Protein backbone atom coordinates (compact mmCIF):
# COMPACT_ATOMS: atom_id res chain seq x y z
CA UNK A 1 0.00 0.00 0.00
CA UNK A 2 1.42 3.37 -1.03
CA UNK A 3 1.02 6.38 1.23
CA UNK A 4 2.18 9.97 1.24
CA UNK A 5 1.89 12.67 3.90
CA UNK A 6 0.50 15.88 2.43
CA UNK A 7 1.73 19.34 3.31
CA UNK A 8 -1.19 20.17 5.54
CA UNK A 9 -1.78 20.08 9.28
CA UNK A 10 -4.90 22.10 9.83
CA UNK A 11 -4.57 25.89 9.91
CA UNK A 12 -5.32 28.04 6.89
CA UNK A 13 -3.21 26.24 4.29
CA UNK A 14 -5.26 25.24 1.24
CA UNK A 15 -5.44 21.74 -0.16
CA UNK A 16 -5.02 21.27 -3.88
CA UNK A 17 -8.25 20.74 -5.70
CA UNK A 18 -10.36 21.76 -2.69
CA UNK A 19 -12.47 24.14 -4.75
CA UNK A 20 -15.10 24.58 -2.05
CA UNK A 21 -12.65 25.99 0.49
CA UNK A 22 -13.81 29.43 1.59
CA UNK A 23 -11.87 32.14 3.44
CA UNK A 24 -12.60 32.48 7.15
CA UNK A 25 -13.12 35.98 8.60
CA UNK A 26 -13.12 36.49 12.38
CA UNK A 27 -14.69 39.54 14.03
CA UNK A 28 -12.95 40.43 17.32
CA UNK A 29 -13.00 43.29 19.83
CA UNK A 30 -13.87 44.14 23.40
CA UNK A 31 -17.43 43.73 24.72
CA UNK A 32 -20.24 45.99 23.50
CA UNK A 33 -18.54 47.59 20.50
CA UNK A 34 -21.13 46.21 18.08
CA UNK A 35 -19.43 43.07 16.80
CA UNK A 36 -22.69 41.11 16.59
CA UNK A 37 -24.42 43.98 14.78
CA UNK A 38 -21.58 44.05 12.24
CA UNK A 39 -21.77 40.25 11.99
CA UNK A 40 -25.46 40.47 11.14
CA UNK A 41 -24.86 43.26 8.63
CA UNK A 42 -22.13 41.34 6.78
CA UNK A 43 -24.03 38.04 6.95
CA UNK A 44 -27.16 39.73 5.65
CA UNK A 45 -29.38 38.22 8.33
CA UNK A 46 -30.13 38.56 12.03
CA UNK A 47 -28.14 35.54 13.10
CA UNK A 48 -26.43 36.87 16.22
CA UNK A 49 -28.30 38.10 19.31
CA UNK A 50 -27.89 41.88 19.44
CA UNK A 51 -28.48 43.68 22.74
CA UNK A 52 -26.87 46.75 24.24
CA UNK A 53 -25.51 44.67 27.11
CA UNK A 54 -21.83 43.68 27.35
CA UNK A 55 -21.09 39.99 27.00
CA UNK A 56 -24.22 38.84 25.16
CA UNK A 57 -22.13 36.84 22.65
CA UNK A 58 -20.11 34.16 24.42
CA UNK A 59 -19.48 31.33 21.96
CA UNK A 60 -18.13 31.75 18.46
CA UNK A 61 -20.95 32.02 15.96
CA UNK A 62 -20.62 31.07 12.30
CA UNK A 63 -22.46 32.18 9.17
CA UNK A 64 -22.07 31.94 5.42
CA UNK A 65 -21.51 35.37 3.87
CA UNK A 66 -20.93 36.86 0.43
CA UNK A 67 -18.83 39.90 -0.52
CA UNK A 68 -18.44 41.05 -4.14
CA UNK A 69 -19.40 37.56 -5.29
CA UNK A 70 -16.83 35.84 -3.07
CA UNK A 71 -18.32 33.42 -0.49
CA UNK A 72 -16.65 33.23 2.90
CA UNK A 73 -17.27 32.00 6.45
CA UNK A 74 -17.85 34.71 9.05
CA UNK A 75 -17.06 34.09 12.74
CA UNK A 76 -18.45 36.26 15.53
CA UNK A 77 -16.56 36.07 18.83
CA UNK A 78 -17.18 37.07 22.41
CA UNK A 79 -15.87 40.40 23.70
CA UNK A 80 -12.11 40.45 24.29
CA UNK A 81 -11.10 41.65 27.77
CA UNK A 82 -7.87 39.86 28.79
CA UNK A 83 -7.46 41.85 32.02
CA UNK A 84 -10.77 40.67 33.48
CA UNK A 85 -10.86 38.43 36.56
CA UNK A 86 -14.17 36.94 35.38
CA UNK A 87 -13.55 33.31 34.26
CA UNK A 88 -16.25 33.71 31.60
CA UNK A 89 -14.51 36.74 30.10
CA UNK A 90 -11.18 34.95 30.23
CA UNK A 91 -12.75 32.11 28.25
CA UNK A 92 -13.94 34.65 25.69
CA UNK A 93 -10.35 35.84 25.31
CA UNK A 94 -9.40 32.23 24.67
CA UNK A 95 -12.10 31.97 22.02
CA UNK A 96 -10.67 35.04 20.28
CA UNK A 97 -7.19 33.50 20.21
CA UNK A 98 -8.66 30.28 18.82
CA UNK A 99 -10.48 32.20 16.09
CA UNK A 100 -7.18 33.86 15.17
CA UNK A 101 -5.60 30.45 14.70
CA UNK A 102 -8.00 29.62 11.87
CA UNK A 103 -8.87 33.02 10.36
CA UNK A 104 -7.66 34.22 6.98
CA UNK A 105 -8.64 37.82 7.78
CA UNK A 106 -9.57 39.52 11.08
CA UNK A 107 -11.89 42.50 11.53
CA UNK A 108 -11.04 44.33 14.76
CA UNK A 109 -14.03 46.37 15.93
CA UNK A 110 -13.53 49.54 18.00
CA UNK A 111 -16.14 51.96 19.37
CA UNK A 112 -16.21 55.27 17.50
CA UNK A 113 -18.10 56.94 20.36
CA UNK A 114 -15.49 56.23 23.05
CA UNK A 115 -11.82 56.91 23.62
CA UNK A 116 -9.67 53.75 23.44
CA UNK A 117 -9.71 51.60 26.58
CA UNK A 118 -6.93 49.35 27.95
CA UNK A 119 -8.70 46.29 26.52
CA UNK A 120 -8.66 47.94 23.07
CA UNK A 121 -4.90 48.42 23.39
CA UNK A 122 -4.36 44.80 24.40
CA UNK A 123 -6.53 43.52 21.55
CA UNK A 124 -4.65 45.66 19.01
CA UNK A 125 -1.31 44.53 20.47
CA UNK A 126 -2.33 40.86 20.22
CA UNK A 127 -3.41 41.32 16.62
CA UNK A 128 -0.19 43.14 15.76
CA UNK A 129 1.74 40.03 16.78
CA UNK A 130 -0.40 37.86 14.49
CA UNK A 131 0.52 37.22 10.87
CA UNK A 132 -3.15 37.32 9.90
CA UNK A 133 -4.24 40.46 7.94
CA UNK A 134 -6.30 42.81 10.13
CA UNK A 135 -8.88 45.46 9.23
CA UNK A 136 -9.57 47.96 12.02
CA UNK A 137 -13.04 49.54 12.00
CA UNK A 138 -14.62 52.23 14.17
CA UNK A 139 -18.21 51.11 14.60
CA UNK A 140 -21.19 53.27 15.64
CA UNK A 141 -20.02 56.07 13.32
CA UNK A 142 -23.63 56.92 12.58
CA UNK A 143 -22.83 60.47 11.36
CA UNK A 144 -19.87 62.58 10.24
CA UNK A 145 -19.37 64.17 13.66
CA UNK A 146 -18.92 60.80 15.33
CA UNK A 147 -16.66 59.63 12.50
CA UNK A 148 -14.43 62.68 13.05
CA UNK A 149 -14.25 62.10 16.81
CA UNK A 150 -13.17 58.50 16.16
CA UNK A 151 -9.76 59.85 15.07
CA UNK A 152 -8.69 59.47 18.73
CA UNK A 153 -8.47 55.74 18.03
CA UNK A 154 -5.39 56.36 15.87
CA UNK A 155 -3.48 56.73 19.15
CA UNK A 156 -3.57 52.92 19.24
CA UNK A 157 -0.90 53.01 16.53
CA UNK A 158 -3.20 52.11 13.64
CA UNK A 159 -2.22 52.70 10.03
CA UNK A 160 -5.79 52.70 8.74
CA UNK A 161 -9.16 53.04 10.48
CA UNK A 162 -12.46 52.58 8.68
CA UNK A 163 -15.51 54.31 10.22
CA UNK A 164 -18.64 52.20 9.79
CA UNK A 165 -22.16 52.01 11.12
CA UNK A 166 -23.35 48.44 11.37
CA UNK A 167 -26.74 49.78 12.42
CA UNK A 168 -27.29 51.99 9.35
CA UNK A 169 -24.94 50.32 6.87
CA UNK A 170 -22.58 53.29 6.45
CA UNK A 171 -19.12 52.27 5.21
CA UNK A 172 -20.00 48.59 4.80
CA UNK A 173 -19.39 48.60 1.04
CA UNK A 174 -15.87 50.01 1.48
CA UNK A 175 -15.21 47.48 4.24
CA UNK A 176 -16.23 44.60 1.96
CA UNK A 177 -13.96 45.95 -0.80
CA UNK A 178 -11.02 45.93 1.61
CA UNK A 179 -12.02 42.50 2.93
CA UNK A 180 -12.08 40.81 -0.47
CA UNK A 181 -8.73 42.39 -1.36
CA UNK A 182 -7.18 40.49 1.56
CA UNK A 183 -8.74 37.12 0.74
CA UNK A 184 -6.42 34.36 -0.41
CA UNK A 185 -6.54 33.77 -4.14
CA UNK A 186 -9.67 31.92 -5.23
CA UNK A 187 -8.92 28.19 -5.40
CA UNK A 188 -8.00 26.97 -8.83
CA UNK A 189 -7.91 23.46 -10.22
CA UNK A 190 -4.14 23.75 -10.33
CA UNK A 191 -3.59 20.02 -10.01
CA UNK A 192 -4.07 17.53 -12.77
CA UNK A 193 -7.54 16.16 -13.44
CA UNK A 194 -6.46 12.94 -11.75
CA UNK A 195 -5.40 14.77 -8.58
CA UNK A 196 -8.65 16.74 -8.38
CA UNK A 197 -10.71 13.55 -8.64
CA UNK A 198 -9.06 11.91 -5.62
CA UNK A 199 -11.64 11.35 -2.88
CA UNK A 200 -10.95 13.24 0.34
CA UNK A 201 -12.25 11.36 3.39
CA UNK A 202 -12.69 13.32 6.64
CA UNK A 203 -12.77 11.01 9.67
CA UNK A 204 -14.66 12.81 12.44
CA UNK A 205 -16.32 12.00 15.74
CA UNK A 206 -16.11 12.43 19.48
CA UNK A 207 -12.85 11.79 21.33
CA UNK A 208 -11.69 8.19 21.65
CA UNK A 209 -14.09 6.86 19.01
CA UNK A 210 -11.24 5.23 17.07
CA UNK A 211 -10.53 7.81 14.35
CA UNK A 212 -6.72 7.64 14.47
CA UNK A 213 -6.86 3.88 14.88
CA UNK A 214 -8.83 3.66 11.63
CA UNK A 215 -6.19 5.74 9.84
CA UNK A 216 -3.44 3.49 11.19
CA UNK A 217 -5.38 0.38 10.16
CA UNK A 218 -5.74 1.69 6.61
CA UNK A 219 -2.09 2.70 6.47
CA UNK A 220 -0.85 -0.53 8.01
CA UNK A 221 1.38 1.37 10.43
CA UNK A 222 1.24 3.49 13.57
CA UNK A 223 1.26 6.80 11.71
CA UNK A 224 -1.12 8.58 14.10
CA UNK A 225 -0.68 8.74 17.88
CA UNK A 226 -3.28 6.51 19.52
CA UNK A 227 -4.12 7.13 23.18
CA UNK A 228 -7.15 6.49 25.38
CA UNK A 229 -7.05 10.10 26.60
CA UNK A 230 -9.39 12.45 24.72
CA UNK A 231 -7.73 15.12 22.62
CA UNK A 232 -4.58 13.24 21.61
CA UNK A 233 -5.03 14.30 17.98
CA UNK A 234 -5.10 18.07 17.59
CA UNK A 235 -4.24 18.94 14.00
CA UNK A 236 -6.19 17.75 11.00
CA UNK A 237 -3.65 15.59 9.14
CA UNK A 238 -3.87 14.67 5.45
CA UNK A 239 -2.41 11.36 4.30
CA UNK A 240 -2.61 10.10 0.72
CA UNK A 241 -2.94 6.34 0.41
CA UNK A 242 -3.47 3.78 -2.35
CA UNK A 243 -6.29 1.55 -1.12
CA UNK A 244 -7.18 -1.48 -3.26
CA UNK A 245 -5.40 0.14 -6.17
CA UNK A 246 -7.24 3.47 -5.95
CA UNK A 247 -5.85 6.68 -4.41
CA UNK A 248 -7.65 8.53 -1.64
CA UNK A 249 -6.78 11.16 0.95
CA UNK A 250 -7.53 10.54 4.62
CA UNK A 251 -8.08 13.54 6.88
CA UNK A 252 -7.79 12.52 10.54
CA UNK A 253 -9.23 15.07 12.94
CA UNK A 254 -9.35 15.79 16.63
CA UNK A 255 -12.31 14.52 18.63
CA UNK A 256 -15.30 16.84 18.92
CA UNK A 257 -17.21 17.23 22.18
CA UNK A 258 -20.15 19.30 23.25
CA UNK A 259 -19.36 23.02 23.59
CA UNK A 260 -19.54 23.00 27.37
CA UNK A 261 -16.95 20.23 27.46
CA UNK A 262 -14.46 22.16 25.34
CA UNK A 263 -12.58 23.85 28.17
CA UNK A 264 -8.95 23.80 27.16
CA UNK A 265 -7.66 26.00 24.36
CA UNK A 266 -5.95 23.09 22.62
CA UNK A 267 -9.13 21.07 22.33
CA UNK A 268 -11.21 24.08 21.29
CA UNK A 269 -8.75 24.70 18.47
CA UNK A 270 -9.11 21.05 17.50
CA UNK A 271 -12.87 21.51 17.17
CA UNK A 272 -12.43 24.31 14.65
CA UNK A 273 -9.91 22.29 12.67
CA UNK A 274 -12.22 19.27 12.58
CA UNK A 275 -15.09 21.39 11.30
CA UNK A 276 -12.81 22.81 8.66
CA UNK A 277 -11.76 19.29 7.68
CA UNK A 278 -15.39 18.57 6.77
CA UNK A 279 -15.25 21.61 4.49
CA UNK A 280 -12.16 20.18 2.76
CA UNK A 281 -13.60 16.70 2.22
CA UNK A 282 -16.14 15.20 -0.13
CA UNK A 283 -16.91 12.16 2.08
CA UNK A 284 -17.28 12.15 5.87
CA UNK A 285 -16.84 9.02 7.98
CA UNK A 286 -18.53 9.62 11.33
CA UNK A 287 -16.90 7.34 13.93
CA UNK A 288 -19.04 6.33 16.91
CA UNK A 289 -18.12 4.24 19.93
CA UNK A 290 -20.84 1.58 19.75
CA UNK A 291 -20.58 0.97 23.49
CA UNK A 292 -21.53 4.57 24.21
CA UNK A 293 -23.98 4.87 21.34
CA UNK A 294 -24.78 7.76 19.02
CA UNK A 295 -25.37 11.10 20.75
CA UNK A 296 -26.92 14.46 19.95
CA UNK A 297 -23.43 15.76 19.19
CA UNK A 298 -22.96 12.99 16.61
CA UNK A 299 -26.28 14.00 15.05
CA UNK A 300 -25.07 17.60 14.84
CA UNK A 301 -21.89 16.49 13.11
CA UNK A 302 -23.92 14.47 10.61
CA UNK A 303 -26.18 17.48 10.07
CA UNK A 304 -23.17 19.73 9.48
CA UNK A 305 -21.79 17.27 6.91
CA UNK A 306 -25.12 17.18 5.09
CA UNK A 307 -25.46 20.96 5.22
CA UNK A 308 -22.03 21.19 3.58
CA UNK A 309 -23.20 18.74 0.91
CA UNK A 310 -20.81 15.94 1.86
CA UNK A 311 -21.39 12.22 1.42
CA UNK A 312 -21.76 10.46 4.78
CA UNK A 313 -20.91 7.03 6.15
CA UNK A 314 -21.54 6.12 9.81
CA UNK A 315 -19.12 3.68 11.45
CA UNK A 316 -20.13 1.94 14.70
CA UNK A 317 -16.73 1.04 16.15
CA UNK A 318 -15.79 -1.40 18.94
CA UNK A 319 -18.74 -3.67 18.11
CA UNK A 320 -16.52 -6.68 18.92
CA UNK A 321 -17.03 -5.73 22.58
CA UNK A 322 -20.82 -6.17 22.27
CA UNK A 323 -22.92 -9.32 22.15
CA UNK A 324 -25.62 -9.87 19.52
CA UNK A 325 -28.29 -8.04 21.51
CA UNK A 326 -25.90 -5.14 22.13
CA UNK A 327 -25.14 -4.83 18.42
CA UNK A 328 -28.85 -4.87 17.56
CA UNK A 329 -29.50 -2.14 20.12
CA UNK A 330 -26.57 -0.05 18.87
CA UNK A 331 -27.80 -0.34 15.28
CA UNK A 332 -31.39 0.58 16.15
CA UNK A 333 -30.25 3.51 18.28
CA UNK A 334 -28.09 4.77 15.39
CA UNK A 335 -30.99 4.42 12.96
CA UNK A 336 -33.20 6.45 15.31
CA UNK A 337 -30.54 9.13 15.87
CA UNK A 338 -29.80 9.51 12.16
CA UNK A 339 -33.36 9.08 10.88
CA UNK A 340 -32.90 12.37 8.99
CA UNK A 341 -30.08 10.68 7.01
CA UNK A 342 -31.60 7.26 6.44
CA UNK A 343 -29.72 7.11 3.12
CA UNK A 344 -26.34 7.02 4.92
CA UNK A 345 -24.74 3.58 5.29
CA UNK A 346 -24.23 2.34 8.86
CA UNK A 347 -21.34 -0.10 9.18
CA UNK A 348 -20.22 -2.30 12.10
CA UNK A 349 -16.45 -2.19 12.52
CA UNK A 350 -13.77 -3.21 14.96
CA UNK A 351 -10.80 -1.07 14.04
CA UNK A 352 -8.67 -2.85 16.63
CA UNK A 353 -9.10 -6.25 14.96
CA UNK A 354 -9.76 -4.97 11.44
CA UNK A 355 -13.15 -6.64 11.24
CA UNK A 356 -15.59 -4.74 9.00
CA UNK A 357 -13.01 -2.22 7.73
CA UNK A 358 -13.19 -3.54 4.16
CA UNK A 359 -16.97 -3.23 4.16
CA UNK A 360 -16.65 0.27 5.60
CA UNK A 361 -14.29 1.34 2.83
CA UNK A 362 -16.56 -0.25 0.22
CA UNK A 363 -19.40 1.91 1.58
CA UNK A 364 -17.10 4.95 1.43
CA UNK A 365 -16.29 4.24 -2.22
CA UNK A 366 -19.97 3.74 -3.12
CA UNK A 367 -20.95 6.96 -1.31
CA UNK A 368 -18.17 8.89 -3.06
CA UNK A 369 -19.31 7.56 -6.45
CA UNK A 370 -22.92 8.51 -5.73
CA UNK A 371 -21.78 11.95 -4.60
CA UNK A 372 -20.10 12.56 -7.99
CA UNK A 373 -22.73 10.83 -10.13
CA UNK A 374 -24.40 12.59 -13.05
CA UNK A 375 -27.56 11.53 -14.88
CA UNK A 376 -28.28 12.70 -18.44
CA UNK A 377 -31.20 15.05 -18.96
CA UNK A 378 -32.98 12.62 -21.28
CA UNK A 379 -32.60 9.76 -18.80
CA UNK A 380 -33.86 11.71 -15.81
CA UNK A 381 -36.85 13.08 -17.76
CA UNK A 382 -37.88 9.59 -18.92
CA UNK A 383 -37.79 8.55 -15.28
CA UNK A 384 -39.73 11.66 -14.28
CA UNK A 385 -42.54 10.90 -16.74
CA UNK A 386 -42.96 7.51 -15.05
CA UNK A 387 -43.09 9.16 -11.62
CA UNK A 388 -45.76 11.63 -12.75
CA UNK A 389 -47.84 8.85 -14.33
CA UNK A 390 -47.76 6.80 -11.12
CA UNK A 391 -48.16 9.64 -8.68
CA UNK A 392 -48.87 13.18 -9.98
CA UNK A 393 -48.42 16.10 -7.53
CA UNK A 394 -51.47 16.84 -5.41
CA UNK A 395 -53.60 19.94 -5.93
CA UNK A 396 -52.74 22.76 -3.53
CA UNK A 397 -55.11 25.62 -2.66
CA UNK A 398 -57.46 24.58 -5.49
CA UNK A 399 -54.63 24.97 -8.01
CA UNK A 400 -53.31 22.17 -10.19
CA UNK A 401 -49.59 21.88 -9.72
CA UNK A 402 -47.72 20.85 -12.86
CA UNK A 403 -44.12 19.71 -13.15
CA UNK A 404 -42.69 20.19 -16.64
CA UNK A 405 -39.01 19.46 -16.83
CA UNK A 406 -36.12 18.25 -14.67
CA UNK A 407 -32.37 18.48 -15.14
CA UNK A 408 -29.29 17.78 -13.03
CA UNK A 409 -27.38 21.04 -12.65
CA UNK A 410 -24.58 19.85 -10.39
CA UNK A 411 -22.80 16.89 -8.88
CA UNK A 412 -21.07 16.80 -5.51
CA UNK A 413 -23.77 16.69 -4.16
CA UNK A 414 -26.19 15.74 -6.94
CA UNK A 415 -28.51 18.70 -7.45
CA UNK A 416 -31.63 18.77 -9.63
CA UNK A 417 -33.90 21.59 -10.75
CA UNK A 418 -37.57 20.96 -11.61
CA UNK A 419 -39.63 23.53 -13.50
CA UNK A 420 -43.18 24.00 -12.24
CA UNK A 421 -46.09 26.36 -12.72
CA UNK A 422 -46.41 26.74 -8.95
CA UNK A 423 -43.03 25.83 -7.39
CA UNK A 424 -44.02 27.13 -3.95
CA UNK A 425 -47.11 24.91 -3.88
CA UNK A 426 -45.36 21.57 -4.27
CA UNK A 427 -46.22 19.82 -1.00
CA UNK A 428 -43.29 18.81 1.23
CA UNK A 429 -44.46 15.17 1.22
CA UNK A 430 -44.35 15.12 -2.58
CA UNK A 431 -40.88 16.70 -2.54
CA UNK A 432 -39.74 13.89 -0.27
CA UNK A 433 -41.38 11.34 -2.57
CA UNK A 434 -39.46 12.69 -5.59
CA UNK A 435 -36.15 12.53 -3.70
CA UNK A 436 -36.83 8.94 -2.64
CA UNK A 437 -37.71 7.96 -6.21
CA UNK A 438 -34.49 9.51 -7.52
CA UNK A 439 -32.49 7.55 -4.96
CA UNK A 440 -34.25 4.30 -5.77
CA UNK A 441 -33.86 4.64 -9.54
CA UNK A 442 -30.34 6.07 -9.83
CA UNK A 443 -28.67 4.76 -6.68
CA UNK A 444 -27.91 8.03 -4.93
CA UNK A 445 -27.29 6.25 -1.64
CA UNK A 446 -24.74 7.67 0.76
CA UNK A 447 -24.97 11.27 -0.46
CA UNK A 448 -27.23 14.24 0.19
CA UNK A 449 -29.58 14.89 -2.72
CA UNK A 450 -30.86 18.37 -3.48
CA UNK A 451 -33.98 19.02 -5.56
CA UNK A 452 -35.06 22.62 -6.20
CA UNK A 453 -38.32 23.78 -7.77
CA UNK A 454 -38.39 26.86 -9.97
CA UNK A 455 -41.07 28.69 -11.91
CA UNK A 456 -41.37 28.14 -15.62
CA UNK A 457 -39.65 30.93 -17.53
CA UNK A 458 -42.06 33.24 -19.30
CA UNK A 459 -41.41 34.30 -22.87
CA UNK A 460 -41.07 38.05 -23.37
User: pLDDT averaged over the chain?
Assistant: 78
For the cut 50, the answer to whether the pLDDT of residue 194 exceeds it is: no
What's the rounded mean pLDDT across residues 423-440?
A: 88
**pLDDT the model gives residue 324:** 92
Ordered domains of the chain (ranges, CATH): 22-182 (3.40.50.300), 197-370 (3.40.50.300), 377-455 (3.30.300.20)
**pLDDT the model gives residue 268:** 46
**pLDDT the model gives residue 421:** 84
Whether the Cβ atoms of residue 93 and residue 80 lie closer than 8 Å to each other: yes
The set of residues, in sequence order, having a beta carbon less than 8 Å from that of 317 and lying 6+ positions away, is 209, 210, 214, 287, 288, 289, 290, 349, 350, 351
Percent of the chain residues topping a pLDDT of 70:
73
Q: How far is CA 109 from the centre of its chain?
A: 25
**pLDDT the model gives residue 136:** 94
For the cut 90, the answer to whether the pLDDT of residue 332 exceeds it is: yes
Which pLDDT tens digit goes with each residue over 344-392?
999 999 998 999 999 999 999 999 999 999 999 999 999 889 888 888 8
DSSP 149-191: HGGGGGGGT-S--EE-BTTTTBTHHHHHHHHHHHSPPPP---S
What's the rounded mean pLDDT across residues 202-213?
A: 85
**pLDDT the model gives residue 92:** 54
CB-side neighbour CA atoms (13 Å) of 331: 13
| CA 43 – CA 24 distance, rounded (Å) | 13
Q: Which of 5-14, 191-200, 264-273, 352-361 has the lowest mean pLDDT?
A: 5-14
For the cut 60, the answer to whether the pLDDT of residue 231 exceeds it is: no
**pLDDT the model gives residue 72:** 85
What's the rounded mean pLDDT across residues 53-70?
A: 62
Which pLDDT tens digit goes with each residue over 140-165?
998 888 888 888 898 888 889 999 99
What's the rounded mean pLDDT across residues 210-238?
A: 59
Whether the Cβ atoms of residue 204 and residue 284 lie closer than 8 Å to each other: yes
Q: Which of 108-112, 215-219, 252-256, 324-328 has the lowest mean pLDDT?
A: 252-256
Higher pLDDT, 326 or 3: 326
Amino acid sequence: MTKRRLAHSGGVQRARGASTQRPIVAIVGRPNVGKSALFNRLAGAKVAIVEDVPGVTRDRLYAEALALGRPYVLIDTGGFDPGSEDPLTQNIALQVRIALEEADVVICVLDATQAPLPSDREAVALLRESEVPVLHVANKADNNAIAQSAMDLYTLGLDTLRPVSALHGHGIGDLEDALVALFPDAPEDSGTEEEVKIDRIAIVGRPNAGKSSLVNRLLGEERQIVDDRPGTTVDSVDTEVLYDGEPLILIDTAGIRRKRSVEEGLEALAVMQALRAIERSNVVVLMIDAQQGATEQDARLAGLSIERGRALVIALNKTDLLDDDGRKQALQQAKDTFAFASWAAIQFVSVQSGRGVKKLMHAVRESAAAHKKRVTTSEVNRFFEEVLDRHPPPTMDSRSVRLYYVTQVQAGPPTFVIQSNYPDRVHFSYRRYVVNQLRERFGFMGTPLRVMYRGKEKRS
